[in-house]
Amino acid sequence: MSFGIQAIVLAAGRGSRIPELVSSQPKCLLPIGNRPMIYYPLHALESCKFSVVTIVINEGQKEAVSEAIYNHFDTRTMTNRIGWFLLPNKDEDYGTADTLRLMHEQKQISSDFLVISCDTLTNYPLYQLVSSYHIRDAAITCLLSSSNIISDGSTPGKKGKPVLEKDLIGIDYQNNDRLVFFNSELVFDEDIPFSISMLKRCPQFIIHNNFLDTHIYIIKKWVLDYLAEKRQFKSIKANLIPRLVREQFKSNVIQNKTTYDSEVENKYKVDLLDYVEEDEIYKAIENLDNFNLSHVTVNPDTKEKKKVYPDSAVKCYAVIQRDGISLRANTVTGYFEANKRLRAIFPNLPVKDKTSVPSTPTTPNVGPPVKVQIGADCLVSPSSRIGDKTSIKRSCIGDHCLIGEKAKIANCVIMNHVTVEAGCNIQGSIICNNAVICSSAEIKDCIVAANHKIATYGQFSNEVIPPTFVDASDDL
Amino acid sequence: MVSKENTVYQSVLICDSFHNYFGPIGEHYPSCLVPLINRPVIEYALDSLRVSGIQEVYIFASTHADLIRSYVNKHWTPQCNEDFNIFVYSSDHYFSLGEILRDLFSKAVIRNDFVLIYGDTVCNLPFKQYLDDFKALRLKDKLCVMAHLFRLSSPLHRTRRKDDESIAVLQASDKRLLCYEKIHLKKIDLDLLLFQNNKDVEVHFDLQDTHISICSLSVLSLFADNFDYQTRDDFIKGIMGQEEILGNTIYAKILDSPYYAARAVSPIAYDAISRDILQRWTYPNVPDLLMNYAYLRNHIYKEGISNITAGSILSRNIAIGDKTEIGANVEIHYSVLGSNVRIGNNVRIEGAYIWDNVIIEDNCTIKTSIIGKNVIIKASTNINNGCLIADNVILGPNVNIKEISYIDSKHRDEDDPGILEVLQQIDAKNLGESAKGFVWIDDGREDGQEESDGGSFSPEIWGLPPDESEQGISSASSSENEQSDDEYEYDYKFGDGDDGDDQKRYYAEVVDSLIRGIECKIACENLIVEINASKHAYNIQYKDVAFLVSRAIIDAVSKLANQEGKATAGKIKEMVKHLSPLYVNYIRDDQGKIDCLKAMEEFTVSVMNQSSSIPILVHFISYLYDDSVLDEDTIIRWHQRMEILYSPVSEIDQYVIEQKSLRSHAIMLKFIEWLKTAEEESESD
């Protein structure tokens, strides 16, 4: 089923919020529960049978990403028709809005579209979001989650509770959950200004500061035309949505396109309302309404009535996930929580096909380990070797790891090709690819970067332990 | 002592609005004794208190206290039994709510939670239940001092007073009041912390203040402790401000249908509430249940025997009192007529409130006005929208009383017969030959009541066409919307960041003092003291001062120079010379020099008329060079390097173009050329 909308997975993020973790691989391939991050948005799209999916990645990463994807999905049963969009490697970072603009310029977007970030993990059934989009004729529909669990989590590598940037999201529950306020708290200094004209039209709303913006949006195609002109908009979340939300309170008559074109074009003034394309069906319904009214007030001059909130031409809606969990793995806390809560979010993930994991001959194939304690909530890759008498609790262990004898691992995320020697005690930490933890080291609440080696009897807590010998870019 | 089981339900009724909104009518009545559908407003309030189970009412009155006292003695005391007692206190000192509550505290008659309500309130609320609820609430939150009652109503609702608009911010879970602010401007700023510290915050603009509060005893002691609390708003603000210290909390209680509460505090509210009563929104407070009115179709109410000539049209929403006579061919819409009113033939009455014993002769038209008791309107008189006619006035015949006329039967200076006679003659022209009445002049300020009311906001005027104000809203908002288009893309002209407003004000002040300084030849030391003083007042950082002052000097000088016609080089030189100590004082390092040049350039670019302003700039630079405030290096460096000027975001391109044209202007180039050669010469020496 296509739903008439195209899905776009933004996977070209460079992980600027988690530089500690992305030194050895693209962000979208960071393992979460032994699967690459990008698996989860694709899984969400796949389970709703989206047929047109475009993945945006940086140039030069296509091979790695597509290999990772095909390792985890059975291409024969997949309904997704995956297309790729490669962002050219340039010095400047492409914002999310920049990406859309570029795709639009290259005619890569042909319909209304759904944007999902590769770091979003959600068990919300996306078809409900799509239905809501179809019902409401919204310029933009945002999926928000009322259970923001990240705020309770702890962060490896840092002391104390994480201070996370909050989004202030205002919702008008009287008007089918219209989105009336959408800004990060950092936009404001001390006060938040509200104009009286806005309050007059929307006199009651609730501002939440604990809602998670899942970064799943369904956007109308005409918004792209507007975005194409507004070159200063870099990000969907920080620029585009706040503007669209504010535009709802602008009162204006939809002007005919022809009159606009014939006027002297003013390049400096881009008015969103000139770009609004009304859905034909909704227009027809509206005309029917007017027809009924016209018996009472016959006035052909006021045919184009003023559109004010809540009937404004631009409509932004929120869809709120009340039960279930969503989270974003775009911060260390988020990434860490994602690993820990994976079972809670996706209790029914398909079991990974063992044959899809390329077996490496280096793994010595010995008999099953003895006296091993592995908690039921752990995810341990079958290609890893676990030594005798180890204890693993609430942790994820990636592919091809070697865990030595009597090691204790609790609340950890261990990526691929990690070696943990005998007698180590690791708690609440993230160990990146190819790291080596020599015997009897004690690590608590740390991040061990890729390719780093921790000496015997090393003791660390609340630290980011930097890489020693390999430059990050070499490995890509 | 009253035992706990035997709680007495008490209420405090404030019978003074602390401001006369009723103009000439307010001279005769307190707002709570104004007849509303032929019944004093206070009767509605007392009735609903009695019905809802309140046992003791303490009335506080100041203006017209004697009228209120005699009213209560006449109508209520005889019927009072054990279950409903009224006590009246009056004093001239009651000029604010704060004074009353402080006095009440010292009287020590209130023993438990009480209802605080105004005498001009029409409501149908179950106060006893609210008091019990409040008690339960206080068991949960011991520091809760007040629950304030709000009524849900859309922003355009007719009972909302435009001068009493407010925004309430509540905790979504328990309706605790987090912030309550009156709105005076088109924009309101709410503290970011409100939203950061509370998970779910409700913002309400759809709440109408009923001015009814359920208070605990500590409200009285808080008022007693804080002598600066004058109004309830002071109190709320004080509690919110000290929340962290004292921890006291205020809750909001939101009323929804079928509950009704509104204050008939002004003619607008009076009009709106009358309509609400006629249309039965206030049920059971409706004329057929409260008085002996018969309820007919189209919301027409009639009392006793009224004599209505056949052929007259009564459209809808009309109340007609006892023994009222209506002549032939009369049209009445949306109006209230008292008892013993006599209306002649061919009269048209629309939206008017006509009190008892009024006589309206033939061929009159009355629109949206209040006509006091015993008024006589002679034949062929038109009374237009928004008129307030006090008791005993006589108007007409054959005049047109223009909109929003306030007419009283007495004049303030009535002891002086001479003036009276003169006035009578003047007013006769406007009010008719056989008129008896004077145009009422507002002098409410004489007793300082207005200040205590805290309203610098001019109250709305009743009688203006309603659609005008509504259009005002939409048109104003649409134009404002365009303005606020780039709301968050701050576009202050100079300075970066949030203190732009302060900088603008500081700048304006500096320009003013400079102009004065030049004109009056004030010594520069004094100017420096002045500029420094305002620097502290507006919290300007030292690094910005050089920029602002340099810009202010060139601004002031070019203003003065242009004032006197053609700007001559000599004059400019003279003025700059006069002000040169300022430069020496404020420009102390290279950064200051660059700032100074940038400031002057920015000013020149921002001035429209470049042909005259560029020469001034060049003159300035050259004088400052001569005075060795600036040196060649800085000037040349400045000229070579284009730096982006502070400019409005929307005009940034324009600015860049103008900056380029300025830099390449012939005079400028010539000057720079000259500078360069001068430098070379000095080097070769």
In angstroms, the CA A451 to CA A417 distance is 9
Please report whether residue A304 resides in a domain: no
CB A218 within 8 A of CB A130: yes
> What digits encode the pLDDT tens for the residues B117-158?
999 999 999 999 999 999 999 999 888 999 999 988 888 777
- Number of domains observed in the structure of chain B: 3
pLDDT at A300: 45
Closest CA to B177 of B150, B159, B196, B212: B150
B614's enclosing H/E stretch is helix B610-626
Q: Give me the CATH number covering residue A422.
A: 2.160.10.10
Q: How confident is the model at residue B370 (pLDDT cuts 50, 70, 90)?
A: very high
> What digits encode the pLDDT tens for the residues A430-464?
998 889 999 889 998 888 888 888 888 888 888 88
Q: Are A134 and A202 found together in one domain? A: yes
Closest CA to B294 of B314, B321, B265: B321
- Domain span including residue A416: 370-475
Please report whether residue A356 resides in a domain: no
- Cβ separation B188–A189 shorter than 8 A: no
Q: Are B536 and B397 found together in one domain? A: no
- Domain span including residue B617: 500-684
> What digits encode the pLDDT tens for the residues B310-324?
888 898 899 999 999
Amino acid at A241: I
Mean pLDDT computed over A358-373: 57
CA A470 to chain B, closest CA, distance in angstroms equals 42
Q: Give me the CATH number covering residue B144.
A: 3.90.550.10
DSSP state of A104: H
DSSP state of B487: T
Which of B192, B206, B484 lies closest to A188 in CB terms? Answer: B192
Whole-angstrom distance between the N-terminal and C-terminal Cα of chain A? 36
Q: Are A375 and A336 found together in one domain? A: no
Arithmetic mean of pLDDT over chain B: 80
Which of A314-328, B578-592, B632-646 is the most confident on average? A314-328
* H-type alpha helices, B390-455: 417-431, 449-453
In angstroms, the CA A105 to CA A100 distance is 9
Please report whether residue B615 resides in a domain: yes
Strands A52-58 and A81-87: parallel
Lowest mean pLDDT segment, chosen from A215-219, A366-370, B98-102? A366-370
| Interface contact B196, partner A, CB < 8 A | yes
Q: How confident is the model at residue B645 (pLDDT cuts 50, 70, 90)?
A: low
Above 80 in pLDDT, residue A74? no
Look at chain B and count its residues: 685
In angstroms, the CA A56 to CA A12 distance is 6
Above 80 in pLDDT, residue A401? yes
pLDDT at A153: 58
Higher pLDDT, B432 or B44: B44
Q: Are A321 and A374 found together in one domain? A: no
Lowest mean pLDDT segment, chosen from A4-13, B215-224, B325-334, B432-441? B432-441
Higher pLDDT, A308 or B283: B283
Q: Within 13 Å of residue B49, how many CA atoms lie on the same side as its CB?
A: 32
* H-type alpha helices, B521-665: 524-537, 542-563, 569-586, 590-606, 610-626, 632-640, 652-663
- Number of domains observed in the structure of chain A: 2
pLDDT at B318: 93
Q: Give me the CATH number covering residue B521.
A: 1.25.40.180
Q: Are A326 and A450 found together in one domain? A: no
Mean pLDDT computed over B46-73: 90
Above 80 in pLDDT, residue B657? no
Above 90 in pLDDT, residue B115? yes
Mark B541-555 as b/e (b = at least 16 C-beta within 10 Å).
eeebbbbbbbbbbbb
Q: Are B108 and B239 found together in one domain? A: yes
Contacts of B653 in chain A (CB under 8 A): 268
Q: Are A314 and A415 found together in one domain? A: no
Q: Are A336 and A381 found together in one domain? A: no
CA B270 to chain A, closest CA, distance in angstroms equals 23
In angstroms, the CA A37 to CA B47 distance is 69
- Beta-ladder partners of B72: none
Please report whether residue A154 resides in a domain: yes
Q: Are B214 and B324 found together in one domain? A: no
> Residue B213, class by beta-carbon neighbours within 10 Å (0-12 exposed, 13-18 middle, 19+ buried)?
buried
Which of B185, B187, B204 lies closest to A204 in CB terms? Answer: B204
Contacts of A149 in chain B (CB under 8 A): none
Q: How confident is the model at residue A261 (pLDDT cuts 50, 70, 90)?
A: very low
Higher pLDDT, B330 or B678: B330
Higher pLDDT, A362 or A442: A442
Nearest CA in chain A to B649: A268
Q: Give me the CATH number covering residue A334.
A: 3.90.550.10
Neighbours of B78 (CB within 10 A): 7
Above 90 in pLDDT, residue B403? no
Among B263, B279, B301, identify where a domain stops: B263
In angstroms, the CA A171 to CA B190 distance is 17
Closest CA to B29 of B388, B333, B362, B457: B388
Please report whether residue B590 resides in a domain: yes
Amino acid at B424: Q
- Beta-ladder partners of A337: none
Contacts of B497 in chain A (CB under 8 A): 189
Please report whether residue A450 resides in a domain: yes
Q: Are B231 and B151 found together in one domain? A: yes
In angstroms, the CA B322 to CA A306 distance is 48
Above 50 in pLDDT, residue B251? yes
CB B382 within 8 A of CB B398: no
- Measured CA distances, B27 to B63, B73, B406, B428 (Å): 10, 22, 11, 22
In angstroms, the CA A233 to CA B192 distance is 24
Closest CA to A374 of A389, A392, A350: A392
Q: What is the DSSP string of A156-200?
A: TTSSSS---PPEEEEEEGGGTSEEEEEEEGGG-SSEEEEEHHHHH
In angstroms, the CA A413 to CA B197 distance is 32
Sequence-ordered list of residues with C-beta below 8 angstroms from that of B7, at least 6 positions apart, any chain = B112
In angstroms, the CA A274 to CA A269 distance is 11
What angle in degrees, to the nearest 10, is found between the helix axes of B500-520 and B524-537? Answer: 160
B505's enclosing H/E stretch is helix B500-520
φ, ψ for residue A439, nearest 5 deg: -60, 145
Mean pLDDT computed over B670-682: 74
Q: Are A63 and A109 found together in one domain? A: yes
Neighbours of A110 (CB within 10 A): 9
Sequence-ordered list of residues with C-beta below 8 angstroms from that of B92, at least 6 positions apart, any chain = B62
pLDDT at A161: 67
Amino acid at B431: L
pLDDT at B410: 79
In angstroms, the CA A215 to CA A205 distance is 22
> What digits encode the pLDDT tens for the residues B182-226?
887 778 888 888 888 888 899 998 888 889 999 999 899 899 988
In angstroms, the CA A329 to CA A115 distance is 16
Lowest mean pLDDT segment, chosen from A125-129, A340-344, B652-656? B652-656
Q: Are A81 and A145 found together in one domain? A: yes
pLDDT at A352: 56
Look at chain A and count its residues: 476
- Cβ separation A209–B187 shorter than 8 A: no
Q: Which of A207, A212, A244 to mutate against chain B (most B CBs within 10 Å)?
A: A207
Please report whether residue A427 resides in a domain: yes
Token pair for residue B40? 């004093």
Q: Are B353 and B298 found together in one domain? A: yes
DSSP state of A239: I
Amino acid at A441: A
Q: How confident is the model at residue B1 (pLDDT cuts 50, 70, 90)?
A: very low
Q: Which of A174, A187, A196 to mutate against chain B (most B CBs within 10 Å)?
A: A196
Q: Are A389 and A317 found together in one domain? A: no
CA A152 to chain B, closest CA, distance in angstroms equals 14
CB A213 within 8 A of CB A167: yes
pLDDT at B443: 60
Which of B165, B187, B474 lies closest to A194 in CB terms? Answer: B187
Among B439, B474, B492, identify where a domain stops: B439
Mean pLDDT computed over A365-392: 79
Q: Are B251 and B321 found together in one domain? A: no
| Interface contact B201, partner A, CB < 8 A | yes
> What digits encode the pLDDT tens for the residues B554-572?
888 777 776 665 556 777 7
Whole-angstrom distance between the N-terminal and C-terminal Cα of chain B? 105
Closest CA to B571 of B519, B634, B523: B519
Lowest mean pLDDT segment, chosen from A190-194, B391-395, B474-478, B533-537? B474-478
**Window 195-234 of A, Cβ < 8 Å to B:** 195-197, 199-200, 202-210
In angstroms, the CA A253 to CA A249 distance is 12
pLDDT at A181: 92
Q: How confident is the model at residue B59 (pLDDT cuts 50, 70, 90)?
A: very high
pLDDT at B195: 87
Which of A77-91, A163-177, B268-282, B536-550 is the most confident on average? B268-282
Q: Are A208 and A59 found together in one domain? A: yes
- Measured CA distances, B47 to A143, B35, B126, B271, B572 (Å): 52, 15, 12, 21, 78
Q: Are B379 and B527 found together in one domain? A: no
pLDDT at B13: 93
Please report whether residue A363 resides in a domain: no
CA A196 to chain B, closest CA, distance in angstroms equals 5
Above 80 in pLDDT, residue B430? no
Please report whether residue A289 resides in a domain: no
Please report whether residue B524 resides in a domain: yes
Tracing tokens 């676990």 back to the chain, one arrives at A386
pLDDT at A135: 86
CB B366 within 8 A of CB B349: yes
| Interface contact B656, partner A, CB < 8 A | no
φ, ψ for residue A31, nearest 5 deg: -75, 130
- Cβ separation B204–A197 shorter than 8 A: no
Higher pLDDT, B554 or B51: B51
Mean pLDDT computed over A30-35: 86
Q: Are A341 and A379 found together in one domain? A: no
In angstroms, the CA B499 to CA A113 distance is 41
Q: Are B545 and B647 found together in one domain? A: yes
Is the C-alpha dihedral spanning B502, B503, B509, B512 positive or negative?
Answer: negative
Please report whether residue A266 resides in a domain: no
DSSP state of A368: P
Q: Are B176 and B246 found together in one domain? A: yes
Neighbours of B441 (CB within 10 A): 11
Q: Are A95 and A147 found together in one domain? A: yes
> Residue A286, class by beta-carbon neighbours within 10 Å (0-12 exposed, 13-18 middle, 19+ buried)?
middle
Preceding amide of B258 cis, omega within 30: yes
Is the C-alpha dihedral spanning A42, A43, A44, A45 positive or negative?
Answer: positive
Please report whether residue B402 resides in a domain: yes
Q: Give me the CATH number covering residue B425.
A: 2.160.10.10
